[in-house]
Structure 1
Amino acid sequence: MAGSKKEIGTGFITEVDRYLFNNGRHYEIFEKMGAHPKKYKGKNGMYFAVWAPHAEQIGVVGDFNSWDPEANAMKPLADSGIWEAFVPGIAAGELYKYAITTKSGKILFKADPYAFSAEYRPGTASVTADLSDFQWGDDAWMDKRGSTDPMNAPMSIYEVHLGSWRRKNRPEKDGCYTYVEAARELADYVTDMGYTHVELMGIAEHPYDGSWGYQVTGYFAPTSRYGTPQEFMYFINYLHKKGIGVILDWVPAHFPRDAHGLSEFDGEALYEYADPRKGEHPDWGTKVFDYSKYEVDNFLIANAIYWVEKYHVDGLRVDAVASMLYLDYGRENGNWIPNRYGSNENLEAIEFFKHLNSVMADRGNGAIVIAEESTAWPKVTEKPEDEGLGFTFKWNMGWMHDFLEYMKLDPYFRKYNHHKMTFGLTYFTSEKYILVLSHDEVVHLKCSMINKMPGLLEDKFANLKAGYTFMLGHPGKKLLFMGQDFGQFHEWDEKVALDWYLADEPQNAGLQSYVKDLLQLYRKYPALYELDYDWDGFQWINANDGDRSIFSFIRYSRDHKRSLLFVINFTPVERPDYRVGVPKRGTYTLVLDNSHGLYKRGDKAPAFRSVKKECDGQDYSIAYSLPAYGTAVFRF
């Protein structure tokens, strides 16, 4: 029985394993739980282990035993809630589930929470897999990652939904690219454009395409929509060898109610809080993980380690952090439970984040953890020992909202909203920020980036070039969602591919070329990334030219060599005699503008000699013609 101390078991899960897991400290529990190829008593087969402390009986079922709950009964391991079984004669590639008999006598057919692979939708079974036979070839990348400080390195992220990035005209799997096909074409595109990383939406297995991968049923299984676990390893390995980092969206906040998933896994609330006032998201119709249980914390933290160590991913972007931190998130008064101090912070989730990020910092080999946190919660990126949550970076949602509100305005009204563009520069050192224009901003009637812009089509493209230039110059790492770099017109739709034909249209091609120039400028000049979170790296020249809606500022490198002066005009009014203050005497060479793009080797870049003439509070200044919606970046 489950409480018997006489149970010996197979020996694959040891007493130490059980102790560590039940105390939330078994960071490689995925090596023991789930399904693993083993040899036992001279026979080859698969070993299964699952945590289900409320179960009365469990059987492993699959095609191999005609889905008979009695055929391969599991045995409980003493005082741990873990059940195990060895099934001889089966190997990788078998469909399976757990048939869990509850205390009420009902039998639940559940997918394996620790399964390494899953059946292609709409199937819901787990699939046995062997992850040990892939040969990695990214040693150089991994060594470099472990020795690089991400704070003072360039990071320009291309956010991608693989199922709708590109599609092929074929019936198999809706025409989606496989991991192998996507690796080659995506690496070529990202390399050509100049992004440093890709961030992938919806890789962990999920039943519903419309959730975009944010309602997960298979936390350890790369979705079978695009291929096998080994093919996903190939994807990451290929991008690494091309010098591209890979970040995954990760969802430890909630999970769906699907009958085959984690919800009431063994007949009772197990992975979720039992009280619906704490264990359910009313807005999303999902369940909330119970961070008070060591085994649940262990499941999630081990899952983070799994993606970093087994798949070599370079970072996790943690979704919906605010929903975890606040007990009243999305809940009306009287429908949530205060903590023991009577306030709305989820103390267990706070400790979970500190634990997670401490472990990741200790053994992640340079992998980063990014918080999608939409409030003003303090010290998100401070170390846990300094009362922080320990994240590497935080999405700057405040900057994003202010930026988009400004950019959507008719240029006439921008002078009354000048502060929306300057406010972000009052707090940019308070966290380690990533500036984001993500998928969330181009769906649900929010319009694509190009269609957020005011004016006729020509004005829209000019506005977006100016906006992207401001984003590039603003301190913080960068993220841009796919399709927005060439001016995708319609909103993102996960059911169809991007309109790649637009990249051949003159204005769209011009925008794409300009974004490419911005990204190349970004990687070329350390001034744009070395001091992202230090006031020594930024200086306003004129933050108050609201009447003309012009912004001018400087980005400095650590050694103050090859600094950059930005001037951006957000109106359609040309300034033929524009004068801007500069901090020192010398030559200011134009390296990029919105009409020419990036001045490359061999181009005759315009140069301007400063004169001793006060402007913008500076002793020196330069004068030049600033076009309508003009952007100009000078090197000095």
Structure 2
Amino acid sequence: MKTKEKVRSKIKLVEFDPWLEPYEDHIKTRISKYKKDRKKLLSDADDFTDFANGHLYFGFHRSNKGWYYREWAPGADSLHLIGEFNNWNPSSHPLTHLGNGYWEIFLDGKKSLWHECLVKVRVTKDNISHDKIPLYIKRVIQDPNTLNFTGQIYCPDNDYKWMNPSFKIPKKQDLLIYEAHVGMAQEKEAIGSFSEFTNIVLPKIKEKGYNAVQLMAVMQHPYYASFGYHVSNFFAVSSWFGTPDELKVLIDTAHSMDIAVFMDIVHSHVVKNTDDGINEFDGTSYQFFHEGARGNHPAWDSKLFDYSKPEVIHFLLSNIKYWMDEYHFDGFRFDGITSMLYLDHGLGKSFTNYDQYFSDNTDLDAVTYLQFANALIKKIKPTAITIAEDMSGMPGMCLPISYGGLGFDYRLAMGLPDFWIRMLEQRDETWNMYTLWYEAVSKRPHEKRIGYCESHDQAMVGDKTIMFRLCDEVMYWHMHKSDNHYVIDRAIALHKLIRFFTLTAASEAYLNFMGNEFGHPDWIDFPRQGNDWSYKYAQRRWSLEENLELKYEYLSTFDRFMVYFAQNHDILKKSEFIQDLFIDDTRKLIVFKKQDLIFIFNFHPTDSYSDLCFPTKDSNSYKAVFDSDLDIFGGYNRVSRDIVYHSINNLKFNENCITIYSPSRTCIVLEKL
């Protein structure tokens, strides 16, 4: 009797990672749910682009004869439009209930509403009325006297004319992202604007060599210090920074510089505010959110979407399409995905085994929503980039939906910044090179990472940037070029090594938070009651890197050369070809190869090696083309760019090797001739 052969799984996710075989049924359930829910959701629509059009129906729309205003409020008993147009009369303009929770009113005459007209909607349920901001409003402003927020009609006489309407991210270029917050991007103790960012910061990003900017806090949020993560109005541009058209100018200008623009989108939770947010819009707690405890985030003090509701999916997918169609965003960084994926939001979990990814704790509705979102984004703009901020490391996050994945392009390598922090808490001579290499190269099979050693998270009060961890208060007094201080020398050397190692060994893409490239000395502390509402630490001190007498220039120059070198040599694209050549923990050395480039990292605090010998896996000749020890980088010019290194047979390794001088705390890149 023949033994029946085991049928190999057709799910690519399991083929890529055999450790997932015990969870194959769970993954198949996800695939089945995606197909079933997609069919049910789309009904007669061809795809998600035909479905995600809530913004084209709801909200305010001007016609040749007047204005339509429509709203979704299934729990409400009545709705009345109020505003400057009717002197805030609470009863003169009732909306008609169309069924299915849809409400509508037509205002006769094109001038019945006007540009910058203030509006709200009075929602009544069980004889209790609340004045709310319309769900699909495009602009919300704050009254400087009362500090209350109000909806505003935004319909300037002339529609914005795009200069670069067909911008696409080049497929062949490495992705180098500059994470930025518009409000704190200026060197002033005040909130920066979209226009200032366009005129002052975009040229800096271009000059620094980054080809993408990731904008935080784009959607309207009532509390400035929330960093934009407590969104109140999903279709409104944050009025802290300017108008919708000024945001369009920013994005259009970036595109003219060949800079892609990503939006930090928050679909993981919502601010609890009822007066200026979507919470309890129709008078119920469950219009958008789960009821009871499940509808509240225990750590973030915010509300949580119910992703099982078709109306919620419609609202969120329409939100994505709106930002892409209206503002030409090139992609999204999805915030708080770990919180979405697990019923316990991943709080207190270390995710050390696969059981934690595939269990009753996983919110399959959230998994399906994220798949829907990625399918929609790729349909609208195939070159768009989606980035997952997931600390759990769920398998398949960055694999196609058809493979059993969630469809993202990249995941943030969130464990690496934490690893660098742990390393910096140890003495330099105890750093383990094998652990460092493992942390850098470990990844999910066939999934791409965005490597970074620090983002905005590591710059907040309560944490420290890498430069501040290395220097602390010493950097306030000893950063002048004429001042030689061992703490600063060590900090500059390690700052360069950490960033270059992260980019070259631990990335398929790379991210930097603005100012960190030159070792910005201050933490981020937004104005709040605890600091007397000061903006002192909610700014970027660009003058420090521009002051040629200060050592910040060294770090800024190194970062610029590093980024350009990465672009010119396609370093990130070569990540799949990475191979370790030589690791020596005693001498704190790591040598690895990417096709025609060899990277030599000497992390030893004091020891230089005049005769470092390592295998090359070939018989070619090499020459140094990049190193961190140039004097313009704050180094000592100890690396020769003239010597040709021949790979010849070495008896110790019994293979072809190169012998080279490796100075302490430096990196060298050799290129095959």
Question: Paired residue for 2:10?
Answer: none
C-alpha spacing 1:611/1:323, structure 2 compared with 1 (3 Å) = closer
Question: Paired residue for 1:548?
Answer: 587
1: CA distance, partners of 2:631 / 2:179: 24
Is the deviation greater in 583-592 or in 79-88?
A: 79-88
- Aligned equivalent of 1:117, options 135, 139, 143: 139
C-alpha spacing 1:305/1:58, structure 2 compared with 1 (3 Å) = same
Query: Residues 10-29 of structure 1 correspond to what in structure 2 (within 5 A)?
Result: 26-29=51-54
Structure 1 unmatched runs, 5+: 1-15, 334-338, 557-562
C-alpha spacing 1:331/1:522, structure 2 compared with 1 (3 Å) = closer
SS in 2 for 1:166: coil
Residues 514 and 594, structure 1, Cα contact 8 Å, conserved in 2 = yes
Residues 184 and 238, structure 1, Cα contact 8 Å, conserved in 2 = no
C-alpha spacing 1:301/1:597, structure 2 compared with 1 (3 Å) = farther
SS in 1 for 2:551: helix
- Aligned equivalent of 2:622, options 563, 588, 592: 588
Question: Paired residue for 1:11?
Answer: none
2: CA distance, partners of 1:184 / 1:615: 60
Residues 418 and 549, structure 1, Cα contact 8 Å, conserved in 2 = no
2: CA distance, partners of 1:345 / 1:604: 55
Question: Paired residue for 1:49?
Answer: 70
Residues 382 and 390, structure 1, Cα contact 8 Å, conserved in 2 = yes
Q: RMSD of aligned C-alpha atoms? A: 2.8
Residues 429 and 605, structure 2, Cα contact 8 Å, conserved in 1 = no
Residues 551 and 567, structure 1, Cα contact 8 Å, conserved in 2 = yes
Q: Which amino acid aligns with 1:307?
A: W
Q: Which amino acid aligns with 1:384?
A: I
Query: Residues 284-363 of structure 1 correspond to what in structure 2 (within 5 A)?
Result: 284-329=300-345, 343-363=360-380
Matched, 1:75 2:109: no
Matched, 1:579 2:613: yes
Q: Percent identity?
A: 24
Query: Residues 214-229 of structure 1 correspond to what in structure 2 (within 5 A)?
Result: 214-229=229-244
Q: Deviation per CA, 1:186-244, whole angstroms, max 9, x where unpaired? A: 22101111011111110100000111000101111111112110111011000100111
Q: Deviation per CA, 1:501-526, whole angstroms, max 9, x where unpaired? A: 32125321101100101000011012
Question: Paired residue for 1:473?
Answer: 504
Residues 80 and 91, structure 2, Cα contact 8 Å, conserved in 1 = yes
SS in 2 for 1:300: helix
Give the drift of 1:397: 1.0
C-alpha spacing 1:545/1:32, structure 2 compared with 1 (3 Å) = same
Matched, 1:278 2:294: yes
C-alpha spacing 1:293/1:421, structure 2 compared with 1 (3 Å) = same
Give the drift of 1:157: 0.5
- Aligned equivalent of 1:389, options 394, 406, 409: 406
Q: Which amino acid aligns with 2:129?
A: I
Give the drift of 1:168: 4.3
2: CA distance, partners of 1:461 / 1:512: 11
1: CA distance, partners of 2:184 / 2:222: 17
Question: Paired residue for 2:277?
Answer: 261
1: CA distance, partners of 2:436 / 2:337: 25
Matched, 1:511 2:555: yes
SS in 1 for 2:320: helix
Q: Which amino acid aligns with 1:458?
A: D
SS in 2 for 1:91: coil
Q: TM-score, normalised by structure 1?
A: 0.86
Structure 2 unmatched runs, 5+: 1-40, 350-355, 472-485, 527-534, 634-638
SS in 1 for 2:625: strand
Q: Which amino acid aligns with 1:502?
A: L
C-alpha spacing 1:187/1:604, structure 2 compared with 1 (3 Å) = farther
- Aligned equivalent of 2:152, options 123, 127, 134: 127
- Aligned equivalent of 1:249, options 242, 264, 272: 264
- Aligned equivalent of 2:118, options 95, 98, 103: 95
2: CA distance, partners of 1:52 / 1:188: 45
C-alpha spacing 1:328/1:618, structure 2 compared with 1 (3 Å) = farther
Question: Paired residue for 2:164?
Answer: 138
Residues 581 and 591, structure 2, Cα contact 8 Å, conserved in 1 = yes
2: CA distance, partners of 1:429 / 1:404: 26
Residues 116 and 152, structure 2, Cα contact 8 Å, conserved in 1 = yes
Matched, 1:153 2:173: yes
Matched, 1:622 2:658: yes
Question: Paired residue for 1:427?
Answer: 443
Q: Deviation per CA, 1:359-387, whole angstroms, max 9, x where unpaired? A: 11222241111110101211001111221
SS in 2 for 1:60: strand
Give the drift of 1:620: 2.0
C-alpha spacing 1:255/1:595, structure 2 compared with 1 (3 Å) = same
Question: Paired residue for 2:393?
Answer: 376
Q: Which amino acid aligns with 1:322?
A: T
C-alpha spacing 1:342/1:316, structure 2 compared with 1 (3 Å) = closer
SS in 2 for 1:289: coil
Question: Paired residue for 2:182?
Answer: 162
C-alpha spacing 1:580/1:261, structure 2 compared with 1 (3 Å) = same
Residues 187 and 542, structure 2, Cα contact 8 Å, conserved in 1 = no
Is the deviation greater in 199-208 or in 381-390?
A: 381-390
Q: Which amino acid aligns with 1:472?
A: L
1: CA distance, partners of 2:207 / 2:651: 40
Q: Deviation per CA, 1:378-426, whole angstroms, max 9, x where unpaired? A: 10011112211111111111233223322443212213x6413423313
Matched, 1:610 2:646: yes
Q: Deviation per CA, 1:22-41, whole angstroms, max 9, x where unpaired? A: x996312211211122233x
1: CA distance, partners of 2:565 / 2:321: 34
Give the drift of 1:610: 1.6
Query: Residues 477-496 of structure 1 correspond to what in structure 2 (within 5 A)?
Result: 477-494=509-526, 495=535, 496=538
Q: Deviation per CA, 1:113-156, whole angstroms, max 9, x where unpaired? A: 2111111474411111138701001145x2x43xx43xx53111
Matched, 1:405 2:441: no
- Aligned equivalent of 1:538, options 569, 578, 583: 578
Give the drift of 1:572: 1.6
2: CA distance, partners of 1:17 / 1:119: 35
Q: Which amino acid aligns with 2:603?
A: F
Q: TM-score, normalised by structure 2?
A: 0.82
Question: Paired residue for 1:441?
Answer: 458
2: CA distance, partners of 1:282 / 1:595: 48
Residues 483 and 498, structure 1, Cα contact 8 Å, conserved in 2 = yes
2: CA distance, partners of 1:61 / 1:298: 26
Q: Deviation per CA, 1:36-83, whole angstroms, max 9, x where unpaired? A: 22233xxx4x32111101111101111222222212111111334344
